[in-house]
Structure 1
Amino acid sequence: MQATQRETAVSIPLTPTRSDLYWRRIFNKYDRDNDGRISYVELKNIIESREYDHDLPDNVVEKIMALADRDNSGYLEFAEFVEMMHNPALKAVFGHFVARYVHSIIPHRGPIDTTVRTRSKAVFTYTDGTYEEEYSCWPPAISMIIISLVEIVLFCYDEAQGKTAATGPIAKLFLYNPRKRHEAWRFLTYMLVHVNVVHLLVNLLVQLFLGVPLEMVHKWWRVVLVYLAGVAAGSLATSLADPKVYLAGASGGVYALITAHIATIIMNWAEMEFAIIQLLVFVLLAGVDVGTAVYDRYWKQTQQNIGYVAHLGGAVAGLLVGIGVLRNLEKRKWEKRLWWAAVILYFSLMIAGILANIFWESRFL
């Protein structure tokens, strides 16, 4: 059985299909009050949601509503919503949703940038998945850029004083020294101090390449929380595991960003294209570094000035805090349980680390 309306109407099968499930997910996303209908305001939110468009005038939205609202109820029922998305007259407005549906139905190899053309005129392009559609340049992703600029300025200041290898006035004030744990700012400010140019450049490149994409989806404050959580966890863990080691560099925060990507892949698995490939890449990246550290220290017994414990502490914090604060586009029951587990475990580890650094005096003798 099928219900058909006018020449431009689409047939809606009564048996749920993959098309129905796709449109139902989009419909529910913009049905903000969950009343089973799309209002005028909700329709306007759909139209203005595309990051590459400016706001449309109200009269344009009114015309679209009038065209799609077949029963003149002032709302779009689900069937009217699906018909609107398929209406050829509205492809220029809603084409990105249609293209994503076609992209999800037709498998392809590698990323595709497709432009659908009507009468030799480009109509729309699309992104890969629900998660990828959330990328936005507004507000601009500048928090990692600002942190990087501060690190560069402070490094150049010490270099201008003729002090290298983290021996300048800024480095002496900011690096983490286990014997000066009472100067609590050092648990965070060591991230601003670097030993040499290579040390600085490596951290800058990684935190910019990993941090900026996260900001474009999750906004700056979430990414800064993850970054600082990794920095703090790195110094707390190093203080307990290697109490004679001084810390300089942003590696704790950098590794937090690496595992934050793993966290967002886990929490947005169904909404992300090629999630398994992305997960394997980040797990491999973190695993190689940890494996190298364990091999060098416990098998080769090599003495190095690399704070691998800070890497590990930052990675654990990035994963747990990433699960806790980064955006989860569609919440599922198991994800809620994972969220609680991550939050409880993170605060338990941090409280234990803080208390140990305060009261375990014999560890630092």
Structure 2
Amino acid sequence: MPGQGETTVSVPLTPTRSDLYWRRIFNKYDRDADGKISYAELKEIIESREYEHDLPDNVVEKIMKLADRDNSGYLDFNEFVEMMHNPDFKAVFGHFVARYVHSIVPHRGPVDTTGMGPGFLYVPKSLRDGTYEEEYSCWPPAICMILISLVEIVMFCYDAAHGSTTAVGPLAKIFIYNPHKRHEAWRFITYMFVHVGVVHLLVNLLVQLFLGVPLEMVHRWWRVTLVYLAGVAAGSLATSLTDPRVHLAGASGGVYALIAAHIATIIMNWAEMEFAIIQLLVFLLLAAVDIGTAVYDRYWGAGVTNIGYVAHLAGAIAGLLVGIGVLRNLEKRKWEKRLWWAAVILYCCLMLAGILANIFWVDHFPDTKL
């Protein structure tokens, strides 16, 4: 135990960045703001629903035994910091404590540093890495993409039962995007439920579940739904303008929106993600290869294909812009705020232009007589 003189010398007049970081965590524990953490406060936090699966049941007793050096029944700030740096403590609790500490401070911003005036909490990059991954949660359950996939499967099976798996069944005729029936506005969205063949359906199902469910676990269902539907709508609007006589089926616009949404969330949460550059390159490569293949098959490949690559590209653009606009950003920076406004304005302008063109550019489209 250091003496009084040593203690006086070691306390800086201005709090360091590390002090501010640990003070933020300490204040999060200290529910009644009395400057110390009681057994009851620790127990209340640990047994709360959000953290009940992160720490073992006997964690309170072990924390108090290891950290309460003066046996006062409370942890003051110095004891708390020592506890978090104690190698014996880390050996006992392993990853549980690290995960718990990161979980309680995912949102960073201006804080009051206990009487020293407003300040900005700086967290070093080494402490921010992986924070995004720790935001994954199974509650509420990620069921939106699952439900959409089930609807696609049911509709495909219904048409198959009526003798068609090539988007000419009774349901497909109602929901497919048909350029001769553009006045039926629902077709600009509902074409996502129609698929041409089993392979087409399975590929879209696998990709949208593989990419959509993880997004829902971090960003919640309604944000992912907005991104997905934005990609679907952008795909049909863009296809109607560039390929006005093409029928459109499949969820590729929404699927590419999900791919681009992952890119958007990597950009907006770069410092909070582990291996961000690798994830970004993987998604960019995936999108580039698929779109490139679709373009090649459409114009230079053997046989006749009608792959709507414009819907892929438009869906990706919509997913990127809407993803930046609606998906969670764990730590907002000035340039990210400017990027947010630019993305929202650009998306609104593109969508408005697409809608107006579809309404008023009558000569560009085929007659509405089938």
Q: Shared fold (TM-score greater than 0.5)? A: yes
Give matches, 1:1-365, under 5 Å: 20=18, 23-24=21-22, 27=25, 30=28, 48=48, 49-50=50-51, 52-53=53-54, 77=77, 81-87=80-86, 88=88, 95-98=95-98, 129-297=130-298, 303-365=304-366
Indicate if the aligned counterparts of 2:54 and 2:99 stay in contact, CA closer than 8 A: no
Equivalent AA in structure 1 for residue 84 of structure 2:
M
Summarize deviations over 1:267-308 as a string: whole Å, max 9, x none: 111011100001000001111123334444566697421110
* 3-state SS of 1:191 partner: helix
Indicate if the aligned counterparts of 1:211 and 1:223 stay in contact, CA closer than 8 A: yes
Summarize deviations over 1:317-362 as a string: whole Å, max 9, x none: 1111111111111111111111111111111111111111111101
Percent identity over the alignment is: 68
Summarize deviations over 1:227-254 as a string: whole Å, max 9, x none: 1111011001001110000111100000
Name the CA distance, whole Å, in 2 between partners of 1:265 and 1:290. 21
Indicate if the aligned counterparts of 1:85 and 1:94 stay in contact, CA closer than 8 A: no
Indicate if the aligned counterparts of 1:47 and 1:94 stay in contact, CA closer than 8 A: no
Name the CA distance, whole Å, in 2 between partners of 1:274 and 1:182. 47
What is the aligned length? Answer: 328
What is the root-mean-square deviation of aligned Cα atoms in Å? 4.2
TM normalised by structure 1 equals 0.75
Instruction: Name the stretch that deviates more: 254-263 or 41-50.
Output: 41-50
Name 1:123's counterpart in structure 2: none
Name the CA distance, whole Å, in 1 between partners of 2:76 and 2:226. 40
Summarize deviations over 1:136-195 as a string: whole Å, max 9, x none: 111111111111111000100011111231111100000011221221111111000111
Structure 1 residue runs without a partner (length 5+): 6-11, 102-126
- Cα deviation for residue 55 of structure 1 reads 10
Indicate if the aligned counterparts of 1:268 and 1:330 stay in contact, CA closer than 8 A: yes
- Cα deviation for residue 98 of structure 1 reads 3.8
Cα separation, partners in 2 of 1:158 and 1:69, compared to 1, 3 Å: farther
- Cα deviation for residue 216 of structure 1 reads 1.1
TM normalised by structure 2 equals 0.74
Indicate if the aligned counterparts of 1:86 and 1:98 stay in contact, CA closer than 8 A: no
Structure 2 residue runs without a partner (length 5+): 5-9, 102-127
Larger radius of gyration: 2
Equivalent AA in structure 1 for residue 25 of structure 2:
F
Equivalent AA in structure 2 for residue 256 of structure 1:
A
Summarize deviations over 1:45-103 as a string: whole Å, max 9, x none: 5774447348979x959x96xx6699x9x9965x55433423556876685344799xx
